[in-house]
Chain A
Amino acid sequence: MKKPFAITLDPGSSLANKTGSWRTERPVYVDRLPPCNAQCPAGEDIQGWLFRAEGGDYEAAWRHLTRENPFPAIMGRVCYHSCEEVCNRGQLDAAVGINSVERFLGDEALKRGWGFAPPATESGKHVLVVGAGPSGMSAAYHLRCLGHGVTVKEAGPMLGGMLRFGIPRYRLPREVLDGEMQRVVDQGVAVELNARVACIADEMRIGRFDAVFLAVGAHIAKRAYIPAKDSARILDAVAVLRSMEGEEPPMLGRRVVVYGGGNTAIDVARTARRLGATEAIVVYRRTREKMPAHDLELEEALQEGVMVKWLSTIRRAGEGALTIEKMALDDSGNPQPTGEFETLETDSLVLALGQDVDLSLLEGVPGLELKDGVVQVDPLTMMTGHPGLFAGGDMVPAQRNVTVAVGHGKKAARCIDAWLRGARMPAAPKHALATFERLNVWYYSDAPKTVRPQLEIARRTSSFDEVQGGLTEDNALFEARRCLSCGNCFECDNCYGVCPDNAVIKLGAGKRFAFNYDYCKGCGICAAECPCGAIEMVPESV
Chain B
Amino acid sequence: MLRQIEGSRAVAQAVALCRPEVICAYPISPQTHIVEALGEAVKSGALSPCEFINVESEFSAMSVAIGASAAGARAYTATASQGLLFMAEAVYNASGLGLPIVMTVANRAIGAPINIWNDHSDSMSQRDCGWLQLFAENNQEALDLHIQAFKLGEELSMPVMVCMDGFILTHATERVDMPAQPEVDAFLPPYEPRQVLDPSEPVSIGAMVGPEAFMEVRYLAHAKQTMALERIPQIAEEFARRFGRSSGGLVRAYRCEDAETIVVALGSVLGTLKDAADELRDGGLRVGVLGIQSFRPFPLAAVRAALHGAKRVVVLEKSFSVGLGGIVSTDVRVALSGLTLHGYTVIAGLGGRAITKASLVRTLTEAIADRLAPLTFMDLDWRIVERQLQREAATRRSGPVAENLLRDVGPVASKVR
Contacts and interface: CB of A to CB of B under 8 A. Distances in A.
Contacts of B195: 1, 3-4, 7-8
A2 interface: yes
A6 B220 CA distance: 11
B284 interface: no
Contact of A2 (B194, B196, B201, B217): B194
Q: What is the predominant secondary structure among interface residues of chain B facing chain A? A: loop
Contacts of A6: 207, 209, 213-214, 216-217
Interface string A5-42: 11111110000000000000000000000000000000
Nearest to A5: B220
B203 interface: yes
B213 A1 contact: no
A10 B201 CA distance: 9
A11 B98 contact: no
B205 interface: yes
A17 to B, nearest CB: 13
A10 B203 contact: yes
A7 B207 contact: yes
Contact of B204 (A1, A2, A11): A11
A263 B203 CA distance: 77
Q: Which of A5, A7, A10 has the most CB of B within 10 A?
A: A7
B118 interface: no
Contacts of A2: 194
Give the interface residue-count category, chain A: 10 to 19
Given A9-B204, A11-B203, A4 B216 contact: no
A1 B209 contact: no
Given A1-B194, A1-B195, A3-B195, A9 B157 contact: no
B182 interface: no
B179 interface: no
Contact of B206 (A1, A5, A7, A10): A7
A5 B220 CA distance: 8
Contact of A7 (B98, B196, B201): B98
Contacts of B194: 1-4
Interface in B251-306: none
Contacts of B220: 4-5
B206 to A, nearest CB: 7
Interface string B201-225: 1111111010001101100100000
Nearest to A2: B194
B97 interface: yes
A1 B216 contact: no
Interface in B145-198: 157, 193-196
A112 to B, nearest CB: 55
Q: What is the predominant secondary structure among interface residues of chain A facing chain B? A: loop
Contacts of A9: 203-204, 207
A5 B204 contact: no
Contacts of B216: 5-6
A2 to B, nearest CB: 6
Contacts of B98: 4, 7
Interface string A397-411: 000000000000000
Contacts of B157: 4
Nearest to A12: B202
Nearest to B98: A4
B252 to A, nearest CB: 32
B96 interface: yes
Contacts of A7: 96-98, 195, 205-207, 209, 217
Contacts of A8: 195, 203-205, 207
Contacts of A5: 213, 216-217, 220
A4 B206 CA distance: 10
Contacts of B202: 11
B249 to A, nearest CB: 27
Contacts of B193: 1
A7 B197 CA distance: 13
A11 B195 CA distance: 14
A5 B207 CA distance: 11
Nearest to B213: A6
A4 B194 CA distance: 8
A229 B133 CA distance: 129
A11 B193 CA distance: 19
Contacts of B213: 5-6
B228 to A, nearest CB: 16
A36 to B, nearest CB: 51
Contacts of B97: 4, 7
A73 to B, nearest CB: 61
A3 B194 CA distance: 6
A4 B217 CA distance: 9
A10 B209 CA distance: 14
A4 B98 CA distance: 8
B211 to A, nearest CB: 12
A440 to B, nearest CB: 36
Interface string B113-157: 000000000000000000000000000000000000000000001
A3 B214 CA distance: 16
A245 to B, nearest CB: 80
Q: Which of B96, B193, B195, B196 has the most CB of A within 10 A?
A: B195
A166 to B, nearest CB: 75
B137 to A, nearest CB: 33
7 contacts: A1-B194, A2-B194, A4-B157, A4-B195, A6-B209, A6-B217, A11-B204
Given A1-B196, A6-B207, A7-B207, 12 more contacts: A1-B194, A2-B194, A4-B195, A6-B213, A6-B214, A7-B209, A7-B217, A8-B205, A8-B207, A9-B207, A10-B203, A11-B203
Nearest 10 A-B pairs (CB), nearest first?
A6-B213, A9-B204, A11-B202, A4-B98, A8-B195, A6-B209, A8-B205, A9-B207, A6-B217, A8-B203
